[in-house]
Structure 1
Amino acid sequence: MSRNVCITAVDGQTGFLIAELLLKEGKFAKQVDSVTGLALDPKNPRLKELESLGAKIVAHVPGRERVVAQALKDTGCDTICLIPPAHPDKYDITYELVSATKRAGVPNCLLISSAGCDYAERDRQPRLREFIDLEALVLSAKGDPDTPLGHSPCVIRAGFYAENLLLYDKQAQSEGRLPLPIGNNHKFAPVALGDVAHVAAHVLAGKGKHGFDDKHRGQMMVVTGPQLCAGKELATAASSALGSKLEFEDISEAEAKRILSAQAEIDSSEKEYLLEYYSLVREGKTNYISTTAFHDVTGTHPTEPDQFFKLYSADLRPAKKAKTSH
């Protein structure tokens, strides 16, 4: 049984890491025959690494569903990992991709969605709520006898990526503070991007008589980190891992916008997404963990906050102040 995987937004962090796992890690590489990456920016230099591992990179030019569908057919893929890209037109691009996937007759479809989208309000958190509409589009195909898409669907609702906390590295290093607009009391469970990628890789490589492994097919997997943390608890975990004092500071949404605006490397839609997720935290809608899917799929334990901060300690450790003589 062949398994030819196409990963969209492979030039983004999530897509790149999933592709890398499928190509490099033996247990996945043995099950996957080929990996094709659709890239909005096919000249992204990091994609050369995937090509050196055997991936084929294809330019993704949104705007015409028929053309995108033909591009998918040309890849020969039987499995697609749909990742909404970091782009102002994220919803439209992903909507077109889902429709093109139906048109191309790709039977196995994994959508990377977002935890919290089911709690989001359309007027207050529209970027988060978009994921519900995309999930509905993918899952509705299950009842459509005229399309093979939906024959073997799976959705992963990924929690708030812990890597987003690295956006505050300047404040952590220069001021020893972690400034987040999440209030002082409510909690959330950041998840390491690598953990989400591992679950996705297991699903994409897994095989069953109906496409995906029967353990994964049709599943709605919510994947958060293993520990609920308020801001102070995050700062405590970071301080322990870094060996340096880091203090949490609850800031206003206006200040959060200002800090994020200074981060040129992230897209405006991603900034909106982050602010909306922080508002969910303030509303008490993220006070849960969901690690059952991670345990069931990978057979391992997800990354604890202190492990994550140790991994990125060089990015967050406060700079030591030089001693001055008088």
Structure 2
Amino acid sequence: MSRNICITAVEGNTGFLIAELLLTDENFSKEFSSITGLTMNAEHPRCKDLATLGAKIISYQPGRVRDVSSTLRHTNADTICLVPPAHVDKVDITGELIEATKKAGVRNALLLSSAGCDLAETSKQPGLREFVDLESRFLACKCEPETAGESLVIIRAGFYAENLLRYAPKAQEDGILPLPIGRRHKFAPVSLGDVALLAAHVLIGKGPHGFSDQHRGQLMTLTGPMLLDGEEIVRLAGEALGVDLKFEDISEQEAHRVLRTNGGENAEVQFLLDYFSLVREGKTNYISTTAFHDVTGDHPQEAPEFFKNYSAEFMPKKGAGNKRRKVDGSRT
């Protein structure tokens, strides 16, 4: 039976990319009947792009579980991908969507969470620890099979490698990539495209109880395949681009200014700073790619490939004293 899939926060990078992949990849597009994008900003360009691709875009305002559950019922969705929005009230908004999912009787539900949330401390990394609370509320759906929760999956996504692009203007300016991660500890950035690919496989997977039995009930953690410290990130980026980049370990206060200067919302900035804090504490010294291999049959994108794909954003400007070569600035 073909799926009717609802994806929340499609105005954001994650929700948009998952929806776009499902709509444009022929291996996925034949496995569902409809894609509905749930958004708080239907006028966002990403929403208009998805509508052009064939998605139905529905605007809603959080605040009443009853109203949100009614909206979900009208989508006829049997499957939902809950993507917490980059919003200061993301916990309340996502919690409300979880409750609405139960009341609307949506049987198959996928929650996008964050790797490292279980290692975060409320006093030190509150923006990360919030995801543990959301996971708890989500898993409680399993106790109410008459309303929803028959088929649940959680994906804990690692630090998006695309977040490094927020520091690209500084790299373009003087050939320096500044990160507040210290010099000794490592983390494994993951491509957003790989997160979207894993989510898409889960959303179209089918089994006797909803999602594929290979996926149902799984808590999947996905990081990139390479553990890197700041010096290694810069070395790989420089090799991929054919330029001379240098790493600078900056303070959290300076990182906050850089992120805000480059258009980060308060909730996004807090999340990134919390993750960098986790790196400095040595709690991100691991990789987790087994679930990705098992579900997709592919290998996650490695750092050199990522930097090549985003070469235009990282390429230092002329006059910065770095060697340059012509590169392909396309994205995947």
TM-score range, shorter chain: over 0.9
For 2:221, the aligned partner's letter is V
Which range moved further: 313-322 or 11-20?
Answer: 313-322
8 Å CA contact 2:42, 2:48 repeated in 1: no
Matched residue, 1:271: 269
The alpha-carbon deviation at position 322 of structure 1 amounts to: 8.2
TM-score, normalised to structure 1's length? 0.97
For 2:144, the aligned partner's letter is D
Cα pair distance change 1:145/1:206, threshold 3 Å: closer
Matched residue, 2:224: 225
Cα pair distance change 1:107/1:322, threshold 3 Å: closer
Cα pair distance change 1:303/1:48, threshold 3 Å: same
Distance 2:11 2:53 in 1: 15
Distance 1:322 1:262 in 2: 21
Within 5 Å, give how 1:93-242 maps onto structure 2.
Answer: 93-148=93-148, 150-242=149-241
Distance 2:35 2:265 in 1: 26
Distance 1:267 1:217 in 2: 34
Percent of pairs with identical residues:
61
For 1:185, the aligned partner's letter is R
Cα pair distance change 1:322/1:87, threshold 3 Å: closer
The alpha-carbon deviation at position 2 of structure 1 amounts to: 2.7
Distance 1:218 1:123 in 2: 30
2:284 maps to 1:286: yes
Distance 2:12 2:320 in 1: 38
Distance 1:283 1:272 in 2: 17
Secondary structure at the residue paired with 2:32? coil
Deviations 1:239-267 (A, max 9, x none): 01111111111011111111112122x21
TM-score, normalised to structure 2's length? 0.95
Secondary structure at the residue paired with 1:200? helix
Matched residue, 1:307: 305
Deviations 1:277-316 (A, max 9, x none): 0000000000000000110111011000010000000001
Gapped runs of 5+ residues in structure 2? Answer: 322-332
For these two proteins, the number of residue pairs brought into alignment is: 321
Gapped runs of 5+ residues in structure 1? Answer: none
For 1:246, the aligned partner's letter is L
